[in-house]
Structures are given as structure tokens and as C-alpha cells.
Homo-oligomer: A and B are copies of this chain.
Amino acid sequence: MIDGVPPRLPLTEADIQPWLDARKPGQNRFTTQRQEADVVKILSGVFEGVTTGTSIGLLIENTDQRSKDYGNIKDTYRPGHADWVYEQKYGIRDYRGGGRSSARETAMRVAAGAVARAVLNALAPGVVIRGAMVQMGPHAIDPGRWDWDQRTENPFWCPDGESVKSWAEFLDGVRMAGSSTGGVVEVVASGVPVGLGAPVYDKLDADLAKAMMSINAVKGVEIGAGFLAAQLSGEDNADEMRMGNDGRVHFLSNNAGGILGGISTGQDIVLRMAVKPTSSILTPKKSIDRAGNEIEVSTKGRHDPCVAIRAVPVAEAMMAVTLADHLLRHRAQCGYEQTP
């Protein structure tokens, strides 16, 4: 359910589906072979192809949920998975794939992101949000070879064409070993208006950190220079300012990652997040079962060798949702008007 969407924005299932398709598993050998149609249905809030201003309801049904794939985890806890804490917190756990801790939950985030993009398209049409995978396991790209056009030419959202082949070999090895690997995803939002955010409680960077950390398997978030900023001096970190020929302020660097004091500067918002390797692996690991017996657990289901790949469209969606939300809040308080 999405509340507060402005009225009269063009929106149909066809505007949402492509983003879901980008996240969809089973499209190549590098993602889980589970086949989910991930077809979205708009239940409410849209009339004759445009939003009505009332709550938008979206529904994505599970279609390929094989119970037998999960029978073996019914009474056991996978190390590194939420199984055990769910049972500790709630005293019950829906162990099937549709449970709330499944990465499948991110489908709805992507759908919501598509609606958020419709909001941004209408109110801030210059905004472009693009994610890329910049590190797979220990293998980082060379930022000097960054080429946005590359990222849709390979199955990894990799912007460095030269890294693709070695990543493929690395991931084939991981996959065939029944193992998994982590990765780092970078999301860049360009064309964001100056002024989104708030000074204390709902800083734009704070809300982005929450949005990204809420994605399954994410363990770290950094903005701009991020952890590197800890090593810098004030002289090196500060982004100097100059007047551009267009009469607007330009920054000479972007260590801030487009956000100062919790508020967008108009520069690119640059954010990276660390994705851990999935805990569903073939190698037996020490664990316990519901009866408290010490056991060994390995997972034979169809899982992603590198969930960071499919986290790219999810991260883009969470960026879109957070920006759209802050854009509307900014309009509430400060009366934002779209710059022509």
C-alpha cells in the first residue's frame, strides 16, 4: 500500500513490470533458478491510467513456491539466517519461501520504487537513478573504467567491462561449489534538486541509510567518501565551491556524496552498500535444531550465489522511494516548484 502519491500521474502495470523483471530471478545462471513470474497487479488508486491521489495497492503473488524445497529447514536453523531469531521473537516461524525474511520480499520494494519514479518523473524530471555492482567478493572494479553503458551489457550490473569476465569465472566457481559470495553495490542519483532533507531527525542521508540497511543481507552503508572520509584531513575532504558559467554554484569535488547537513546539495547522491553472502550454502555448517540438538546444516534449495547482483534494482528502488518521499515533504514545508 502506498499513500500520498500525487494525483494524475501516468501509472499502469506496464510502468512497474520492467523494474520487477530486472530484479526477477532465473534469468541467467548467476541467480537462483527459482522461477517467479513476479507479475504485479494494481488493486487501487489508479483510474484510466493515472493515479487518483488515493492509496495505491499493489499485489504480487507467489507462484513458484515449492514446499518440498523448504521441508528440510522446517525444524532446523540455518546459520546466518533469520530462522532462529524469528522463532525466538515470535515463538513461530513461517519457514516457507514466502516468509518475511525471504529476499523475495524485495519484489515489493522494486514495485514501490517504480511508483516513486513516477512521482520523480513528474516533479523532478531530471532525476536519474542508477545502481551498479562495484565489487564481487574480493574483486573490485577499476573506478577509472566506469562506463554506465556497460552495466546493462552483462549479468552483473557491472560498469567496468573489463571486470566482467573475471567476475563470471569467479562466480561460476562459487556457484559450482555450492558456495556464495558477497558484494558491494553503488547507487548514484543525478539531477536531484537542492534542498531535500531535514536538519536533525529525518536527514536525507539518515533515511537513505535506513532504507538501504533494511534490504536483506545489507551490512554496511556509506555516502560519498564514506569510510574513507575517516582517513582524510579537513583540507582534503571539504568540497570547494565555485560559480559556474551558468550562474549556478558548482562543487569542485563530491566527497559529501551530494548531502551536507542532512540536505541534498544538488550534486550526485553517491551511496554504497555492502551485501553479505547468502547463508544458504551447500557446505555443512554447525547449527542446532528446534529440539536443541546439535546438527549440521546444508541448503540444497535454489539460491543465489551472489545476492548482491539482484540487490542492485532493489537499492535503486529504495533510493527512488526515499527521494520521492523527501521531495513531497520538501514541497509541504518549502513550496518546491519544479525548475523548468
Number of identical monomers bound together in the oligomeric complex? 4
> Are the CB atoms of B240 and A277 closer together than 8 Å?
no
A321 CA to B174 CA in the complex, in Å? 41
Q: Which of B53, B105, B231, B276 meets A333, CB within 8 Å?
A: B53
A52 near B92 with CB under 8 A, answer yes
Interchain CB contact under 8 A, A200 and B234: no
A150 CB, nearest partner CB in chain B, Å? 20
CB of A42 within 8 A of chain B? no
Interface centre among A90, A225, A252 (most CB of B within 10 A): A90
Q: A243-B294, A334-B6, A334-B7 are in contact. Are A235 and B89 (CB under 8 A)?
A: no
- Give CA–CA (A332, B330) in the complex, Å: 7
Within A71-116, the residues touching B (CB, 8 Å) are 77-82, 84-86, 88-94, 98-101, 105
Instruction: Tell me whether B249 and A219 are in contact (CB under 8 A).
Output: no
A31 at the interface (CB under 8 A from B): no
What chain B residues lie within 8 Å of A243 (beta carbons)? 288, 292, 294
Closest partner residue, chain B, to A50 (CB atom) = B92
Contact A263 B53 (CB under 8 A): no
Chain B residue contacts of A247, Cβ below 8 A:
292
Q: Are B80 and A239 in contact (CB under 8 A)?
A: yes
CB distance from A305 to the nearest CB of B (A): 9
B residues near A201, Cβ cutoff 8 Å: 3, 214
A92: B residues at CB distance < 8 A: 7-8, 47, 50, 52-53
Task: Write the chain B residue with the least CB distance to A108.
Answer: B200
A283 an interface residue at 8 Å Cβ cutoff?
yes
Known contacts A237-B182, A329-B332: does B232 contact A277 (CB below 8 Å)? Answer: yes
